[in-house]
Amino acid sequence: MELHEIRYFLALSKTLNFTKAAEMCNVSQPALTRAIQKMEDELGGLLFSRERSNTHLTELGRMLEPHLTEVLTRTQTAKETAKRFLRLDSAHLKLGVMCTIGPVCFVSFLSRFRADNPGIEITLTEAVPDRLCDLLMKGELDVALIARPNGFTPPLQPQPLYRERFVIACSAGHPFAQRDAVSMTDLDGQPYLQRINCEYRDFLRDTCQANGSHLVGAFRSEREDWILTMVAAGMGICFLPEFSNTIPGVIARPVVEPSVEREVCLVTVAGRRWSSPLSAFVQAVRQYRWPEMEPAHTEPVRPAEEMAQ
């Protein structure tokens, strides 16, 4: 049974006249008659009693009419929903964001995107990089904002957005606050507040050790706001991406000798067809002017495999 046959049946059940039903459906009367006969053959019984000037529904026809009405209504609703989605009206986008991404520079982009695409509702999911990659692969996210020290493996497909250095975050009363930059060797013996969700956590620790610095662990937390509040209170220092500070009283100074950078990427799954909201989002990302990192004082730190040689 096809949708156009259901439409013909409902038109005939309303008009009880083959000629009027055919006109309502913009088809010839023989075409409508053949469609009704085909339905009756498939169902194994008559849907209409055909008498001269007295066409009416049979018991089978009356029994099926509400069910077929519901089928057509649901189909029309589904088509309208699809049209609204393709017009970016009442569309939904699932965006993954790394826990360590500072909201300041990205929220300005989201604000502009929302103004340009008011029909798209975005759900933000915050997680660590490995978890976001897993959700992308499972199709539970459409796109994600991720930085990874070891890059990405296919079919994950990154598009670089911006680079940012790691800085040392300290309180206004800390000696580092009076400097323009802080070298890795200066960090030796400093009380350290560890951001557990930092994707560069192990890389930064190894870099410190390679440069003769030993950080003294003081506190560890998954909560970025807790760590930064403790930094502002003078309880220790921490590494922090330069665009991530959101707490008043936290002073950020670039790390040099060597400097460490991360590249924030918009990650999708290669070969997967993009929905209309995702296409609009990626296009907006490509056109947006992302923040530019100030020139580094020294060359960026070498990859870990080079340092080991």
Per-residue pLDDT of the chain (309 residues; tens, 9 = 90+): 888 899 999 999 999 999 999 999 999 999 999 999 999 999 999 999 887 778 899 999 999 999 998 988 888 777 776 766 665 566 789 999 998 887 777 888 888 888 888 888 899 999 999 999 999 999 999 999 999 988 899 999 999 988 989 999 999 999 999 999 999 999 999 999 999 999 999 999 999 999 999 999 999 999 999 999 999 999 999 999 988 888 889 999 999 989 999 999 999 999 999 988 899 899 999 888 887 755 443 333 333 333 333
Separate counts of helices (H) and strands (E) for the chain: 10, 12
For position 301, what pLDDT does the model report? 35
pTM of the model: 0.64
DSSP E strands in 112-260: the ranges are: 120-127, 143-146, 156-171, 182-183, 191-195, 216-221, 238-241, 250-256
H/E segment holding residue 56: strand 56-57
Q: Cα–Cα–Cα angle for 163, 166, 172, nearest 5°? A: 130
Q: 164-256, which class in CATH?
A: alpha beta
Return the domain boundaries, the chain. 3-83, 91-161+267-307, 164-256
For position 104, what pLDDT does the model report? 75
- Identical fold at 91-161+267-307 and 164-256? yes
Look at residue 4 and give its three-state secondary structure.
helix
What's the CATH architecture for 91-161+267-307? 3-Layer(aba) Sandwich (3.40)
Q: Cα(75)–Cα(141) distance, rounded to whole angstroms?
A: 27
Q: Which of 266, 293, 275 is nearest to 98 (CA)?
A: 266
- List 239's β-bridge partners, or say none: 168
Q: Kindly state the tokens that stand for 241.
A: 């991406």
H/E segment holding residue 93: strand 91-98
Q: Assign domain 3-83 one CATH number from 3.40.50.12780, 2.60.40.1180, 1.10.10.10, 3.40.190.10.
A: 1.10.10.10
Q: Which of 42, 33, 29, 30 is nearest to 2 (CA)?
A: 42
Half-sphere exposure of 274 (CA within 13 A, CB side): 14
